[in-house]
Amino acid sequence: MPILLLIAVLILAGGFCGWIYYRREFEVRARGVLLAARLVAVTGVVALLWNPTLPTAPRGAGPERFAILDASASMAAAASAAPSTTTGTTWDEALRRAAALADGGARVLVLDDRVHAADPARLDGLRPVGTASLLAGAVTVAAEAGAREVVLISDRRVRDPVATAAIARRLGVGITVDTLPGAAYNLGIGRLLLPATAERGETVRGRVELGGSTATPPDSATVTISLDGRPIQALRLPVPTPGGTSTAEFTLGGSLAAGPHRVTARIEGADAFPDDDERAAIVEVDPEETGVLLVSFAPDWEPRFLLPVLNQVTGLPVRGFLRTGPDRFQAMDPDGAGATGTAAAAIDAAALERLLSRAEMVVAMGLDGAAAEFIEGPTARTRRLLLFAADAAGAALGGVAAGAALTGEWYPDEAPPSPVAGEVARLAAAGLPPLTGVLPLLDQGGGAALDLRLGGAGEPRAALLLRTGGGRRVGVVLARGFWRWSFRDGVPREHYRALWAAVGGWMMADEPLAAGPGVRPVAPILPRGAAVSWLGRGHEGEEVRITVTDSAAATVLDSAVTVPAGGHFTSGVLPAGRYMYTVAVPNAPAPDSGAFEVESWTDEMLRLPVPFAELTVPAPPANAALQRNRPLRAWPPAYLVILAALCAEWIGRRRAGLR
Amino acid 598: pLDDT: 95
Contact 415, 450 (CB under 8 A): yes
Number of domains forming the structure of the chain: 5
The answer to which of 2-16, 86-100, 632-646 has the lowest mean pLDDT is 2-16
Amino acid 62: pLDDT: 45
E-strand spans in 318-455? Answer: 318-325, 328-332, 346-347, 361-367, 384-389, 410-412, 448-454
Boundaries of domain holding 614: 64-182+609-627
Q: Is residue 615 part of a domain?
A: yes
Please indicate, yes or no, whether residues 460 and 392 belong to a single structural domain of this protein.
yes
Please indicate, yes or no, whether residues 160 and 194 belong to a single structural domain of this protein.
no
Per DSSP, helices labelled H in 335-368 are 349-358
Please indicate, yes or no, whether residues 117 and 259 belong to a single structural domain of this protein.
no
Q: Which of 270, 286, 302 is the last residue of a domain?
A: 286
User: Over 60: is that where the pLDDT of 60 sits?
Assistant: no
Q: Is residue 390 part of a domain?
A: yes
Burial call 49-72: b when 16+ CB within 10 Å, e when fewer: ebeeeeebeeeeeebbbbbbbbbb
Cα dihedral across residues 349, 351, 357, 360: positive or negative: negative
The answer to which of 202-216, 240-254, 430-444 has the lowest mean pLDDT is 202-216
Q: Which of 286, 319, 345 is the last residue of a domain?
A: 286
User: Over 80: is that where the pLDDT of 631 sits?
Assistant: no
Q: Is residue 109 part of a domain?
A: yes
Amino acid 95: pLDDT: 92
Confidence of residue 319 (pLDDT cuts 50, 70, 90): confident
Mean pLDDT of 139-146: 87
Q: What is the 3-state secondary structure (H, E, C) of 11-47?
A: HHHHHHHHHHHHHHCCCCCCHHHHHHHHHHHHHHHHH
Write the CATH number for 220. Answer: 2.60.40.10
Give the pLDDT confidence of 264-292 residue by residue, as tens digits.
999 998 888 899 999 999 998 877 566 88
What is the pTM (predicted TM-score) of this model? Answer: 0.61
Phi, psi of 302 (to 5 degrees): -55, -45
Amino acid 374: pLDDT: 92
User: Over 80: is that where the pLDDT of 26 sits?
Assistant: no
Amino acid 289: pLDDT: 60
Q: Is residue 515 part of a domain?
A: no
- A 10 A CB-CB count for 529 gives 19
Please indicate, yes or no, whether residues 304 and 255 belong to a single structural domain of this protein.
no
Contacts of 644 (CB under 8 A, 6+ apart): none
Report the distance separating Cα 619 and Cα 299, nearest Å: 56
Please indicate, yes or no, whether residues 471 and 364 belong to a single structural domain of this protein.
yes
Confidence of residue 389 (pLDDT cuts 50, 70, 90): very high
Please indicate, yes or no, whether residues 210 and 176 belong to a single structural domain of this protein.
no
Average pLDDT, the chain: 84
Confidence of residue 244 (pLDDT cuts 50, 70, 90): confident
Give the pLDDT confidence of 43-56 residue by residue, as tens digits.
888 888 777 766 65
Amino acid 55: pLDDT: 61
Contact 201, 257 (CB under 8 A): no
Q: Which of 454, 482, 508 is the last residue of a domain?
A: 508
Give the pLDDT confidence of 113-138 residue by residue, as tens digits.
889 888 888 888 899 988 888 899 99
Please indicate, yes or no, whether residues 476 and 534 belong to a single structural domain of this protein.
no
Q: Is residue 30 part of a domain?
A: yes
Please indicate, yes or no, whether residues 152 and 111 belong to a single structural domain of this protein.
yes
CA 74-77-79 angle, 5° bins: 130
Instruction: Name the residue with higher pLDDT: 479 or 27.
Output: 479
Write the CATH number for 151. Answer: 3.40.50.410
Q: Is residue 513 part of a domain?
A: no
Report the distance separating Cα 567 and Cα 583, nearest Å: 14
Please indicate, yes or no, whether residues 615 and 530 belong to a single structural domain of this protein.
no
Q: Is residue 514 part of a domain?
A: no
What region, left, alpha or beta, does residue 110 occupy, with left being phi > 0 and alpha being psi -120 to 50 degrees?
beta
Amino acid 477: pLDDT: 93
Amino acid 327: pLDDT: 86
Please indicate, yes or no, whether residues 168 and 306 belong to a single structural domain of this protein.
no
User: Over 50: is that where the pLDDT of 61 sits?
Assistant: no
Phi, psi of 420 (to 5 degrees): -115, 20
Give the pLDDT confidence of 167-192 residue by residue, as tens digits.
999 888 899 998 888 777 888 999 99
Q: Is residue 604 part of a domain?
A: no
Mean pLDDT of 563-575: 87
Please indicate, yes or no, whether residues 586 and 616 belong to a single structural domain of this protein.
no
The kind and range of the H/E element at 90 are helix 90-103
Instruction: Name the residue with higher pLDDT: 25 or 389.
Output: 389
Please indicate, yes or no, whether residues 39 and 175 belong to a single structural domain of this protein.
no
